[in-house]
Each structure stands twice: as C-alpha cells, then as structure tokens.
Amino acid sequence: MSKHSQNCKVCNTDIEGEIYHLGFSDMEALYCWDCPNVLLIKDRDFFSGNGIVFPNLMAGDKGWQEYNKHLLPYYEKAEELLPKCKCGGHFRFMAPPRCPKCNEYLAGKGYDNKPYYRNHKYVFVTIGSVYLEDGKFHEST
C-alpha cells in the first residue's frame, strides 16, 4: 500500500488515503454501495471455499456478455456471504469509490450508464476498511 491523493470530480476536494495494488497483494476489494468504506478480502479462496466460482470468460467466449454482465448473478450470490457495512449498507462488487467529503462518486456522476466500472488493479482506502483474515471480518481504521 502507498499514500495517494485523488481529486473528487464532484466537490473538487483533494482526498487523501492509501492505495492498495490488488494484483501485487493478491487481494479482492469491494466498496460499500452507500459510503466510502472498503471491504478487503485477503483470502483468495474465500469465494471458492464457499462454493462460488467466477467464470473466467474473455470477449467472444460462449456466455460472455458486454461489460462482463455475465458475472452479475455470481456477484449477487457472493455478496450474500459478506458482512454489512457499519453504515448499514452493503459491500458490492459493482460499487464505485465514494468521496468521504461529499459522498458522491469520486470519479464523477457520469459513468455512461455502464454497468461494469470496477477497477481491478487497485483500491483506494479513505475512511477505513473491513478486512477478512483467517475466516473472520475485522474493522480497521
């Protein structure tokens, strides 16, 4: 992880936080749908261990859909395994990062109605996170 600053496109505030490169740290991350909180899953076998295996399809493969929409039903099932956020919201695969100041999307409101806007490469942690380790979820701030 490393220090990171990102300008919110909605309220124009420079938001400080830490960035985790998911590929290097072998981690999955999901933002809360309703607040800037993040769920970090350091256990790569968490989903498969619970019977959820995501199909690894490329464009053109049988069953593949535009913007990886074929993954949506798998995400819904996987999300049932996750704890609730302390704000009362849910961590979701499709949730984009929110601004801790204005609570809008950091990247702005316009996503061109694309249903798939996750960034698989890194996650931006601003107000804290919840992480899974040794089969249990822990709060960290």
Rg over CA atoms, the chain: 15
Quick check: 30 binds Zn ion (CB under 5 A)?
A: no
Q: Which is nearer to Zn ion, 70 or 90 (CB)?
A: 90
Closest separation in Å from C-beta 42 to Zn ion: 20
Mark the segment that binds Zn ion (CB under 5 A) among 46-54, 64-72, 77-85, 118-126.
77-85
Per CB under 5 A, the list member of 82, 99, 123, 125 interacting with Zn ion is 99
Q: Check if the beta carbon of residue 38 is closer than 8 Å to that of residue 93.
A: no
Closest separation in Å from C-beta 28 to Zn ion: 17
Identify residues 100-119 at the interface with Zn ion (CB under 5 A): 101-102
What end-to-end distance do the CA atoms of the chain give, in Å?
Answer: 14
Quick check: 8 binds Zn ion (CB under 5 A)?
A: yes
| CA–CA dist 123, 61 (Å, integer) | 28
Per CB under 5 A, the list member of 29, 30, 35, 71 interacting with Zn ion is 35
β-strand partners of 140? 129
Q: Which is nearer to Zn ion, 81 or 87 (CB)?
A: 87
Quick check: 126 binds Zn ion (CB under 5 A)?
A: no
| Cα atoms in the Cβ-side hemisphere of radius 13 Å centred on 124 | 22
Q: Check if the beta carbon of residue 89 is closer than 8 Å to that of residue 34.
A: yes
Per CB under 5 A, the list member of 39, 40, 85, 132 interacting with Zn ion is 85
Total binding residues for Zn ion by CB under 5 A?
Answer: 13
Q: Which is nearer to Zn ion, 65 or 119 (CB)?
A: 119
Q: Which residue has the tokens 């400080």?
A: 16
Q: Closest Cα to residue 44, out of 24, 27, 20? A: 27
